[in-house]
Structure 1
Amino acid sequence: MAKPDILCIGSVLWDVIGRSAAAMRLGSDVPGRITRLPGGVALNIAMTLRRFGVVPALLSSVGRDTEGEELIARCAQLGLVTDHIYRSADLPTDVYMAVEGANGLIAAIADAHSLEAAGDKVLRPLSDGRLGDAEIPYAGMIALDGNLTESLLSQIADSPLFAVADLRVAPASPGKAERLLPLLTHPRATLYVNLEEAGILAKDSFATAADAAAGLLARGAARVLVTDGGNPCAEGTSGAGVITAQPPQVMVTRITGAGDTFMAAHIVASRKSIPRQDALDRAINAAADYVSGEIGS
């Protein structure tokens, strides 16, 4: 079993994405392409980390159905550590479905019910000695996503199993952003959110990513990164203020997975102790390359 450089905890599922070159609205029926790819926030982050030479281990729930066996095999082919994934014979493999047009994401549905039903079973490797336990908790970097339930995220926020880890946290979507509230003021957590998600967490509205970063710091966050599409993104660190970066202008060919790519690229830069501004620039450029199609799925 390969020793992981980072743990990615959250959704590991199939992405079913319909993309069209046409602008779409409610009720549109247009030609396009439909693809099925390994996905989920935790898996997207892990796949990007692996492309950058980092070895991630996945902690999630994947069924023992045909879809699950295929997904585990694909993850192994990609060089991801799957030994710690909770495998249930009773829970089906989760799936995410999205429709994207020339004017962006039209709609998406995340069926992550199996991950939610598995609950703290996905965390067993952190308590049974495989990756750590209460006496010697895991001391490395952990990427968490908001597909975990709010109760489980609350448990993580107070758990001694996570007391010394470097936590990197992202919501799965604006609809699940509130689940991260228990981790907002965690002293070892870095939050990766978009402008809408930042507003939900702060229970406020912000005009810019820089405003949002400052607002979250004011509410007790230790470190935050806020993106806003093609507008400037921001990174805020408690006691060190807020910095910004302007994304390069690119032709957008896909949206799903862009935030995960941004987060993964920033994590890689952080592991190399790259200065704050350079790390932010690298992350936003990696996300731009992804949405333009220059980085493979």
Structure 2
Amino acid sequence: MRYVTGVGGANMDLHGRSNAPIIMRDSNPGHLYTSLGGVTRNILDNLSRLGIATKLCSAVGTDTFGDAILAGCAKLGIDMQHVEVCEGQRSSCYLSIMDDEGDMLVAMSDMSVIKSRGAEFILQRLPIINQSEICVCDTDLCPEALEALVCNAAVPVFIDPVSTSYARTMVDLVGKFDTIKPNLMEMEILAGGSIRDEADLSAACDTVLAKGAKHLFVSRGAEGIYYKGTLGCVSKKSRPVASIANATGAGDATMASLIYSRLSGFSIEKTVSFALAAGIAAISSPDTINPDMSPALIRQYEKEYVL
């Protein structure tokens, strides 16, 4: 059976969205809710809704959040047999505060349970990883685990750097990844220089590609997605979205669409277009994962928004 393996974070997300412009250092009325989260888990969640079989390699604690993560993912069809349950530890948790327009103001994460898993955690799961079509991971893995993964994986490894601080942990390994999906700030870290315009971006991509990476999909926010790699160079934008229900899950949906596109044999132009549409589909839902995510929904947004 064809499947995608995810190695990385699986956590409980706590979200707060303000009803009005946020007043710092004060209590702000708003809407609070929880959802399953974690970058790698979110990517697999999206892939499952796109009809792709998935297996998760992660870790949870022996607490209420851990129970909810295991049960919730299994209900979605994600294979959880390779998730380690760590006695006495806290499950991963992510807290985000969004302004009244739905954009993130600040966030905080506690990923200690997955970061405590070292190289042995990866080596024990190599048979599962290497029988998959693609392995996707995030930088919630500790450096030793990340190195063990990219140095021993026999399948293409896709990675989302997650943040600038985490991007620094993968700089020395950047050439060992097949596909990387950074934003502009993370790309500056990976390439080791500032990016002020498209010429700088192209040069930054060349720097990372020269180290061995094959495909770079750089998220440019309102400016769309810029691709550079072994398949050439493509840049696409989308029409402005009228409103953002929740910006948290856009990157995860984008990465899932890149994997779906690779498995589907899409051209690079189609891949970038599909990825842009997937991100728009994600931010159109108040949930981190759009419950209606499907290839048909992405094609609908692609037709409506992608230029």
What TM-score results when the alignment is normalised by the length of structure 1? 0.88
Task: Using the TM superposition, give the Cα deviation of residue 66 of structure 1 relative to its aligned residue in structure 2, in angstroms.
Answer: 2.4
Distance 1:28 1:203, change over 3 A: farther
Task: Using the TM superposition, give the Cα deviation of residue 42 of structure 1 relative to its aligned residue in structure 2, in angstroms.
Answer: 0.5
* Root-mean-square deviation over aligned CA pairs: 2.1
Task: Using the TM superposition, give the Cα deviation of residue 209 of structure 1 relative to its aligned residue in structure 2, in angstroms.
Answer: 6.4
Return the alpha-carbon distance in structure 2 between the equivalents of residues 261 and 53 of structure 1.
14
**Kept after mapping to 1: 8 A contact 2:122/2:145:** no
**Residues 204-236 of structure 1, C-alpha deviation per residue, up to 9 Å, x if partnerless?**
111356743541233323211000211131111
**Where do 5+ consecutive residues of structure 2 fail to align?**
293-307
Task: Using the TM superposition, give the Cα deviation of residue 282 of structure 1 relative to its aligned residue in structure 2, in angstroms.
Answer: 0.6
**Kept after mapping to 2: 8 A contact 1:12/1:61:** yes
**Kept after mapping to 1: 8 A contact 2:191/2:207:** no
What residue in structure 2 maps to residue 276 of structure 1? 268
Q: Bigger shift: 101-110 or 254-263?
A: 101-110
Task: Using the TM superposition, give the Cα deviation of residue 67 of structure 1 relative to its aligned residue in structure 2, in angstroms.
Answer: 1.9
What residue in structure 2 maps to residue 182 of structure 1? 172
Q: Secondary structure at the match of 2:224?
A: strand
Task: Using the TM superposition, give the Cα deviation of residue 125 of structure 1 relative to its aligned residue in structure 2, in angstroms.
Answer: 4.2
Q: Bigger shift: 276-285 or 58-67?
A: 58-67
Distance 1:53 1:209, change over 3 A: farther
Which letter maps to 1:12? A
Task: Using the TM superposition, give the Cα deviation of residue 288 of structure 1 relative to its aligned residue in structure 2, in angstroms.
Answer: 0.9
What residue in structure 2 maps to residue 6 of structure 1? 4
What residue in structure 1 maps to residue 122 of structure 2? 123
**Kept after mapping to 1: 8 A contact 2:7/2:136:** yes
**Kept after mapping to 1: 8 A contact 2:19/2:31:** no
Task: Using the TM superposition, give the Cα deviation of residue 126 of structure 1 relative to its aligned residue in structure 2, in angstroms.
Answer: 2.6
Distance 1:4 1:37, change over 3 A: farther
**Kept after mapping to 2: 8 A contact 1:20/1:100:** yes
Return the alpha-carbon distance in structure 2 between the equivalents of residues 230 and 184 of structure 1.
26
Q: Secondary structure at the match of 2:117?
A: helix
Q: Secondary structure at the match of 2:181?
A: strand
**Residues 83-116 of structure 1, C-alpha deviation per residue, up to 9 Å, x if partnerless?**
0111111322110111011272111111001111
Which letter maps to 1:276? I
**Kept after mapping to 1: 8 A contact 2:82/2:125:** no
Return the alpha-carbon distance in structure 2 between the equivalents of residues 210 and 273 of structure 1.
29
What residue in structure 2 maps to residue 71 of structure 1? 69
What residue in structure 1 maps to residue 303 of structure 2? none
Q: Secondary structure at the match of 2:278?
A: helix
Which letter maps to 2:42? N
Which letter maps to 1:228? R
- Mapped pair 1:267 → 2:259: yes
**Residues 130-156 of structure 1, C-alpha deviation per residue, up to 9 Å, x if partnerless?**
x26xxxx44520001011112322232
**Kept after mapping to 2: 8 A contact 1:195/1:206:** yes
Which letter maps to 1:296? P
Task: Using the TM superposition, give the Cα deviation of residue 27 of structure 1 relative to its aligned residue in structure 2, in angstroms.
Answer: 2.7
What residue in structure 2 maps to residue 169 of structure 1? 159
Distance 1:269 1:211, change over 3 A: farther
Q: 4+ residue stretches of structure 1 with deviation over 4 A?
A: 208-211
- Mapped pair 1:296 → 2:294: no
What TM-score results when the alignment is normalised by the length of structure 2? 0.86
- Pick aligned residue for 2:233 from 242, 253, 273: 242
**Where do 5+ consecutive residues of structure 1 fail to align?**
none
Return the alpha-carbon distance in structure 2 between the equivalents of residues 277 and 210 of structure 1.
20
Q: How does 1:109-258 map to 2 (within 5 A)?
A: 109-127=108-126, 129=127, 131=128, 137-138=130-131, 140-159=133-152, 162=153, 164-186=154-176, 189-208=178-197, 211-212=200-201, 214-219=203-208, 220=210, 221-238=213-230, 240-250=231-241, 251-258=243-250
**Kept after mapping to 2: 8 A contact 1:146/1:180:** yes
Bigger share in helix: 2
Return the alpha-carbon distance in structure 2 between the equivalents of residues 120 and 253 of structure 1.
39
Distance 1:125 1:152, change over 3 A: closer
